[in-house]
Amino acid sequence: MKELVIPTIGPYQQSPLLNLPDPMTEAEFRRISSYMEKQVGIKMPETKKLMIQSRLTSRLKALGLSTFSDYIDYVFSSDRNQNEEITTMIDVLTTNLTRFFREKQHFNVMVKTVLPSLVHEGTLSPHIWSAGCSSGEEPYTISMVMQEYMRKRPGKLTDYHILATDISTRVLDKARTAVYPMETVEALSMDIKKRYFLKSRADVDPPVVRVNAQTRQKVTFKRLNFMDRMFDVPMQNIIFCRNVLIYFDKETQRSVLLKLVNKLDEGGFLFLGHSETIFGMDLPVETIAPTVFRKV
């Protein structure tokens, strides 16, 4: 692989947790979990209480607060810092799990069915949206797939555009750097690693790689909340929204899916996660492969 010098980061020194706050009360838990469900769409049942308490303890320390009650008063106050801390709270409480070429069958469908169909219909520069992109592995994978398609089938496509969105500013910042532990690419073929990743020469432990510039520059990152009334994004030919809906209830799932489908051009394609379904939702789409749909 080509080499890239990435500055060495010093060893992480973990400080002991001192003066831990009193456990979160039921009322405090309900205040936060209710907000997350109404404003973000993510259900947080009683089983998530310890997780919320653990993750927010760091915020109390950072803000110099001693109780969860003080934190709730702060985060939901009318203070000018409110929006910034609410965004931080959402970042801290949002779980992000992804990897390169996750659910690889989808990319086979994309290459064998979706892209040839778009080319046949005259779409030579498709717009692709990775909705819920987490730390960037999915949109960068899509960019690699597009480059491979164009390399192996010269003249079929002229360009492509990828929009990647997530509610978490923390993971979006990580996605923009495109630096990942080397172990995240170990299962990929040597050809893919050589073509699309740069290996660090710096003495970083654990070692890291970076997605190359050509792959990165095709992806635009933007913050978006699925609970927004309207999605401020252009019309798309392909939308990936995988393993996101599982965190929502049925009513919220249908609302989000309707807004996504409304952003698909006629004949456009929607990819969902393999554990997700649109059964009973009466959407204007037809199934072309497992959890892959076309707008009709």
Distance (Å, rounded) from C-alpha 88 to C-alpha 236?
29
CB neighbourhood size of 79 (10 A): 12
Terminal alpha carbon distance of the chain: 43
- Over the stretch 98-141, which tens digit does the pLDDT of each residue have? 789 989 999 999 999 999 999 999 999 999 999 999 899 999 99
**Per-residue pLDDT, 16:** 43
- Over the stretch 194-248, which tens digit does the pLDDT of each residue have? 999 998 776 777 789 999 999 999 999 999 999 898 899 999 999 999 988 877 8
Question: Does the CA dihedral 204-208-213-219 come out positive or negative?
Answer: negative
Edge-to-edge strands of the sheet including 127-131? 219-223, 161-166, 127-131, 236-241, 264-272, 292-295, 285-289
Average pLDDT of 49-64? Answer: 87
In the predicted structure, residue 83 carries a pLDDT above the cut 70: no
Show the domains of the chain with their CATH numbers: 2-6+21-93 (1.10.155.10), 105-295 (3.40.50.150)
DSSP state, residue 20: P
Could you give the residue numbers annotated as active site? 55, 166
Tell me the two tokens of residue 138: 């999915």
Average pLDDT of 79-103? Answer: 75
Specify whether the CB–CB gap between 202 and 210 falls below 8 A.
Answer: no
Cα distances (Å, whole numbers) of residue 84 to 32, 55, 65, 172, 179: 16, 17, 16, 15, 25
User: Which residues, listed in sequence order, are joined to residue 21 by a DSSP beta bridge?
Assistant: none
Question: Does the CA dihedral 230-234-239-241 come out positive or negative?
Answer: negative
